[in-house]
């Protein structure tokens, strides 16, 4: 891992793993061609027939391109593009699209436990940048919007951030969106005509500078394993703080046996 990537991992509250298997998946630079096929779950899986997200489009631009993590199931590609269009129509953005999956999914050497099956995407909370050249989108600052002492959102939090999450969550393909507990609290305190999407907003540590969208398994993807549905209700009755851990656990790196042929066809 380069010094810049080590610093990025530390700044984002991520951990580093040195497993050879994870390094092998990260070394692959292209998807495995074929009909889209997901094997396993978000935190232990792989994908055939992944597509690369166009690195800029209406309402969005991808960042940290050197990591080569902007791949996903065609459903995820469509989701990001449609969300960008909704953001543009809402009159703000462009949104910054962070990590999706590696070209064939699988565990990453650092940064995530999930993002392995082509169904996860990180959308940054940073909304203050114009369209940038691709060379300008490496190593951008990713401000943390939750005070680590008070566990409260700071003055940079805005209505546009709340709207971004609502637009992201209203798509019926979304299974969960992970955000800091303070963000969930803010969303629950607001008046919304429709509040059903709040069920899909789940408090989770280390999501104080981005939202993590997780899609359901696409129809017909019989080898794809979904999480159980979130508990009933809005999830607005309790808001425990979600501070960043002092020590992150080592992520699991077990993938289905069928993924061996995806890594080395």
Q: pLDDT tens digits for 144-171?
A: 999 988 989 999 999 999 999 999 999 9
**Strand extents, DSSP E, 15-135:** 37-41, 44-48, 51-52, 56-57, 60-62, 71-72, 95-97, 120-124
Retrieve residue 181's tokens: 């507990």
User: What is the DSSP secondary-structure string of 132-201?
Assistant: --GGGSSS------B-TTT--B-TT--HHHHHHHHHHHSSTTEEEEEE-HHHHHHHHHS--S--GGGGGE
CA–centroid distance for 77 within its chain: 13
51 vs 244, which has greater pLDDT? 51
Contact between 83 and 90 (Cβ < 8 Å)? no
Return mean pLDDT, the chain.
90
pLDDT at 204 (0 to 100):
81
Chain centroid to CA 24: 22
- Tokens read off for 141: 């600052």
- What is the Cα–Cα distance from 67 to 79, expressed in whole angstroms? 21
d(C-alpha 109, C-alpha 122), whole Å: 17
Task: Report the pLDDT value the prediction gives residue 236, as an integer from 0 to 100.
Answer: 95
Q: What is the mean pLDDT of residues 3-17?
A: 36
Could you give the percent of the chain with pLDDT greater than 90? 78
For the stretch 168-196, pLDDT in tens is: 999 999 999 999 999 999 999 999 999 99
Instruction: Kindly state the average pLDDT of the residues 83-99.
Output: 97
Q: pTM for the complete prediction?
A: 0.90
Residue 258 DSSP label: G
Residue 21, helix vs strand vs coil:
helix
* Per-residue DSSP letter, 233: S
- The confidence band for 251, taking pLDDT boundaries of 50, 70 and 90, is low
């Amino acid at each position: 891992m380069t010094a810049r990537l080590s610093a990025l991992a530390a700044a984002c509250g991520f951990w580093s793993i040195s497993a050879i298997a994870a390094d092998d998946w990260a070394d692959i630079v292209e998807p495995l061609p074929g009909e889209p096929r997901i094997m396993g779950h978000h935190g232990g899986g792989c994908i055939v027939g992944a597509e690369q997200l166009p690195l800029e489009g209406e309402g969005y631009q991808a960042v940290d391109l050197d990591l080569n993590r902007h791949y996903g199931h065609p459903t995820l590609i469509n989701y990001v593009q449609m969300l960008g269009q909704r953001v543009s129509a809402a009159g703000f953005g462009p949104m910054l699209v962070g990590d999706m999956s590696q070209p064939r999914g699988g565990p990453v050497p650092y940064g995530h436990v999930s993002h392995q099956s082509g169904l996860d995407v990180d959308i940054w909370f940073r909304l203050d940048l114009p369209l940038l050249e691709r060379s300008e989108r490496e190593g951008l600052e990713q401000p943390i919007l939750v005070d680590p002492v008070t566990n409260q959102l700071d003055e940079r939090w805005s209505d546009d951030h709340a709207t971004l999450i609502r637009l992201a969550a209203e798509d019926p393909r979304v299974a969960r969106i992970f955000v800091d507990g303070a963000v969930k609290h803010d969303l629950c305190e607001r008046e919304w005509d429709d509040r059903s999407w709040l069920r899909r907003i789940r408090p989770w540590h280390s999501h104080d500078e981005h939202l993590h969208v997780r899609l359901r398994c696409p129809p017909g993807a019989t080898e794809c394993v979904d999480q159980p549905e979130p508990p009933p209700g809005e999830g607005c009755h309790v808001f425990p703080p979600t501070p960043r851990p002092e020590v992150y656990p080592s992520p699991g790196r077990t993938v289905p046996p069928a993924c061996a042929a995806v890594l080395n066809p």
